[in-house]
Chains A and B, each alone.
Chain A
Amino acid sequence: MPNASALDFMGTVAAGLLTVMVLSYLVRDNPLFRIATYLFIGVASGYAGAIAWHNVIRPGLVDPLMVRGFEGMKDVTLIVPLILVVLLLFKLSPSLSRYGTLSVALLVGVGAAVVVGGAITGTLIPQSLAAMDTLNPSAVAPQTGETGLERVLNVVIMLVGTMSTLIYFRFTARREPTGEARRSRLVAATAAVGKGFIAITFGAMYAGALAATILVLVERIQFLREVVAGFLAG
């Protein structure tokens, strides 16, 4: 049985090779890159299945049924999930997939209700109240501690950005005698400002993604250096 250091060395070498294979995409699309991606997808799927079995299905459904036996079949909290799981397995067969609709409907319905309810109570209402509170010049941000002119300027920028962005997504307009719908000059100008805010937001997000990517690349280069150093050190 190989020792742990040997396994670590082999794992490090495999990780280094896979890193190089992925970086080979900089040249062009090639079989090495595809092998690495397929391997990653396969390993991730298999690992997810194993985690789902060991952390969810087995402790939640199989073990209780095996331990409790026939008594476990009388437990509604066990038999109902079992039925739903069996029905969901029918989705594997095109001819029997309709029997799994109940499970899928339950998943989708409950998931949608949870997401919508959370969005209303966790984002829409709190953020609306927060936007209104920012108009109070005497209020002090607890996190940033902004006061005075800095806060007023920040509130004005936030207000203008919020309104202009909302107006940008307002697609209704008055119809002119020629039959063409055209925005008024004020609305068009405000929408242009909103368009600028949207561009700045996306630019900031892109810059953050680019910085994160560079940081990941640095980590991979450091890993390769460690691998090379390990080979050189013997």
Chain B
Amino acid sequence: MSFAVIKVENLNFYCKNQTVLRNINLEVNKGDFLALIGPNGGGKSTLIRCILGFIKFQEGRVWLWNQKNSEFKEWFKIGYVPQRAGNLIDHLTPLTVKEFIFLPAHWYSKKVHPKRFELLVKKFGMENLLNHKVGELSYGQLQRAYIIRALILEPELLILDEPSVGLDFFTQEVFYHTLGEFHQKGLTIILVTHETWLLTKWVNKVACLNQKLFFHGDHESFCIFAKKPEFLSACHQIEHTHW
């Protein structure tokens, strides 16, 4: 029997008299590599932010490892790469790449295992950049630094919100290949993405969101659903329901 890492029950979120998320029910099990897809403005990032407790939703419940997210304490179990990561970083930011990667250790009062650090730095090819200022990194390098940071405390769940926007095709390939390796080793991953080519290659679960969840299931079922006309209309139609 699979264990639910995340369980979202009847979640409704309204903002300025408009429905943003409607009756969302979603379960992410241990070992899933879930792609959360949907059109712009469909509520993907909002759902992630509800799950992580950044947004207080009006109705419903979110469970993390069988605990309500408002009471959840073990946040170090989650690695998170936000959308538009790095937009606050500039040339003045006084952090070396190494200090940046070590930030979660301060947040959650946890120790970083040196071997883990070395492994990740090597895996993502950042060995020669550790003493650089984060503001001196290129966009692709900064994204890699964010991923390493998200993985540094050996999380059980990794949430990535459009992590490969702006990366060239080759960097994307290496990036997703590495993610695939971590998934093989048991890491649960939620990936918010527009890159549907990933669906066939790496992920095993798909959730299609456009205010409501139009589809949630395994990859094979999604391939069948994707050929139906409902899929296209679900992805194109953004309803602004007033309440």
Asked if A pairs with B, the answer is no
